[in-house]
Structure 1
């Protein structure tokens, strides 16, 4: 009986450690995408995304499906935004223009999906789960 209790205790401890380690790895690695600012330019709104690849993987393709909503919550525009190439453990800036839409008319941005994700081994299907989003200004950026 004592042996069974000891074996059960060891299983609980090792299982808990494995779960904690897996949670730690998933929290520590990933791709952070921050909407840093929106800036008016001629006939468009320029968006600045700061990306941090906190993984040990080089991404050759990482294309985001980004949806812009107006101030009433209505879809105003949808764009495919390529943020690759992304070197491992590297911070980068990606800039893109949202044509025919004033920055003041953008109420929110949504990271809807990952359209393409490829590393040196080929296509991946787990990239959306790697991403966390944030924003610096007043325009919400959600996932």
Structure 2
């Protein structure tokens, strides 16, 4: 059986390793915004987005400004999309039309800004920093 000082040293080393590993893990994204898919809707396109509120706050409003770029990289449409209310931990799926542009012509979608971010304490500026973007669609969603 190991001596008492050795057991204490092993325990201290194990504790230090587990604390270091816990700090090394990336923090969860507080507000995850995903462009999930782009579907043809006649001559237009329909964007489906997933938004997850990973904060500890209820967001009464989360209104995002999106800009859709065509195949030539020209800004084609500006959209304001409301995703609130979002309770903490809630995920919502919203679909909205992108009029006047076909899905195949969309080269990217830009999260241009946060127009409204309401809850207990978030500010619009603070919410921009909390948002992380991703895409599963044919076009990337960028910030």
TM-score (structure 1 length as normaliser) = 0.77
Deviating above 6 A after TM superposition, structure 1's stretches of 4 or more consecutive aligned residues are none
2:76 aligns with: 76
The C-alpha deviation readout for 1:82-138, integer Å capped at 9, x for no partner, is 111111011110111111111111110000100111114575530000000000122
1:48 Cα deviation from its structure 2 partner? 0.5
RMSD over aligned CA atoms reads 2.1
**C-alpha spacing 1:33/1:119, structure 2 compared with 1 (3 Å):** same
Tell me the secondary structure at the aligned position of residue 38 of structure 1.
Answer: strand
1:38 Cα deviation from its structure 2 partner? 0.3
How many angstroms apart in 2 are the aligned matches of 1:123 and 1:110?
Answer: 21
Tell me the secondary structure at the aligned position of residue 125 of structure 1.
Answer: helix
1:35 aligns with: 35
**C-alpha spacing 1:29/1:36, structure 2 compared with 1 (3 Å):** closer
How many angstroms apart in 1 are the aligned matches of 2:135 and 2:29?
Answer: 19
Unpaired segments ≥5 residues, structure 1 = 1-16
TM-score (structure 2 length as normaliser) = 0.77
Unpaired segments ≥5 residues, structure 2 = 1-18
Aligned residues: 123
Tell me the secondary structure at the aligned position of residue 51 of structure 2.
Answer: strand
Tell me the secondary structure at the aligned position of residue 68 of structure 1.
Answer: strand
Matches within 5 A, 1:1-143: 27-121=27-121, 123-143=123-143
Tell me the secondary structure at the aligned position of residue 27 of structure 2.
Answer: helix
